[in-house]
């Protein structure tokens, strides 16, 4: 994946020298794809944790009230089978 770079930015990048390695010689350089994947995973995780936290708080702060339709008593007339007026 190539990101569009302006001509001015390309000149600046070309004029600077590459970064020097640390004295131990074990510097780690990351590609743009690795950086992008890390950022996507990081922010997806942050958003999912926030969504779970919001859901837990919404359930914890809910007032426990009875649902009138759920607890309605059904009054069936079962004593008059087949008798119509």
> d(Cα 4, Cα 32) in Å, to the nearest integer?
12
Is the pLDDT reported for residue 68 higher than 90? no
Residue 4: per-residue pLDDT: 65
Label residue 18 exposed, middle or buried (CB < 10 Å: 0-12, 13-18, 19+): exposed
DSSP conformation class of 9: H
> d(Cα 22, Cα 28) in Å, to the nearest integer?
10
> d(Cα 5, Cα 35) in Å, to the nearest integer?
17
For 10-54, the pLDDT digits (tens) are: 666 666 666 666 666 677 788 999 999 999 999 999 999 999 999
């Amino acid at each position: 994946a190539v990101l569009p770079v302006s001509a001015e930015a390309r000149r600046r990048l070309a004029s600077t020298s590459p970064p020097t390695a640390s004295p131990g010689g074990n510097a780690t350089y990351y590609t743009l794809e690795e950086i992008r994947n890390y950022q996507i995973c990081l922010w997806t995780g942050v958003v999912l944790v926030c969504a779970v936290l919001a859901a837990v708080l919404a359930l914890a702060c809910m007032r426990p009230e009875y649902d009138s339709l759920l607890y309605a008593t059904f009054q069936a007339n079962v004593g008059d089978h087949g008798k119509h007026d």
